Amino acid sequence: MIKAKNLKKVYKTGELDLEVIKDFSLNIEKGEFISLIGPSGSGKSTVLNMLGCLDTPTSGNLEINNKNITTLNKTQLANFRGEHIGFIFQSFNLIPVLSVYENIEYPLIMIQNLPQDERKKRILRLLEEVGMLDQKDKFPEQISGGQKQRVAIARALVTNPQIVFADEPTANLDSKTANQVIDLMKKIQKEHNTTFIFATHDEKIVSKVNRLITLEDGNIMEDRRA
Ligand code: ADP
Ligand code: MG
């Protein structure tokens, strides 16, 4: 489902070229629950952003769902992302002026041809699934960190993506809340066969994935299945 071959990422910072990812090749199958680990600065977020079509590789080849991503322009990439990919961030990234319900609805604006009643049904089902139905009219500042991440998970899933990327999704949560959020994602992976790809140091996530990719200085050091 994801085929990355010889990905390289060079950041241009002033006169200095920073080669952050040197030669990254990896195949990921549908339904995997997989994490990139490695020390801070090893390139986890950079890889996640490339695989998640938020950023483009400097060179190399990336295929997702049999589509060659590296030839798409910015608009095509955004459309592809909207159809196939969900993203969950460390700091939740909810929109403060939108309610819980409206935050989850937001990605559906991209999908123009979805009928109104189907739209509503989908949002309510997800609110139920992440245990936030009774909080749907609240605003982000009125709910806890764990609840915000539940909303972010629902938002990532509302377009029915086949792949969800999560960058340090538990870093701002206490360990009990983190475990609940991880269990929720695991449940969704099992029930819908959604692929989850994490970047994290969190041992609580690491102990639950099926496969661990260790990064060091922009290279894969180890690819281990649990
Ligand atoms: P990790 O997520 O493992 O902590 P990152 O992928 O965020 O690592 O960063 C890898 C390296 O790339 C770091 O040295 C970081 O400073 C650098 N880096 C990340 N993003 C940028 C950017 N937009 N411009 C320049 N350098 C960057
Ligand atoms: Mg990072």
Decide whether any atom of ligand 1 lies within 6 Å of the 35 Cβ.
no
> Which residues span the domain enclosing 93?
31-58+67-225
> Looking at 112-116, 149-153, 215-219, which range is the least confident one?
112-116
Identify whether 216 is part of a domain. yes
The verdict on the CB of residue 200 being under 6 Å from ligand 1 is no
Please indicate, yes or no, if residue 3 is contained in any of the structural domains. no
In a domain, 6, yes or no: no
The CATH number of whichever domain residue 219 belongs to comes to 3.40.50.300
Q: Is residue 214 part of a domain?
A: yes
Asked whether residue 2 is domain-assigned, the answer is: no
pTM: 0.94
CA of 59 from ligand 2 middle (Å) equals 21
Give the residue among 161, 165, 162, 134 at the shortest CA–CA distance from 147: 134
Residue 37 in any domain: the answer is yes
| Distance of alpha carbon 194 from alpha carbon 148, whole angstroms | 21
pLDDT reading at 136 higher than 90: yes
Closest Cα to atom 6 of ligand 1: 43
Which ligand is in closest contact with the Cα of 46?
Answer: 1
What Cα–Cα distance (Å) separates residue 172 from each residue in 24, 36, 59, 158, 179?
A: 29, 18, 33, 23, 12
Question: Which pLDDT belongs to residue 166?
Answer: 97
The answer to the question of residue 10 being in a domain is: no
With CA atoms as reference, report the closest residue to 21 among 7, 4, 37: 7
| Nearest atom of ligand 1 to the alpha carbon of 46 | 6
Number of domains into which the chain is organized: 1
DSSP state of 111: -
Chain segment 64-112, per-residue pLDDT in tens: 999 999 999 999 999 999 889 999 999 999 999 999 999 999 999 877 6
Residue 22 falls inside a structural domain: no
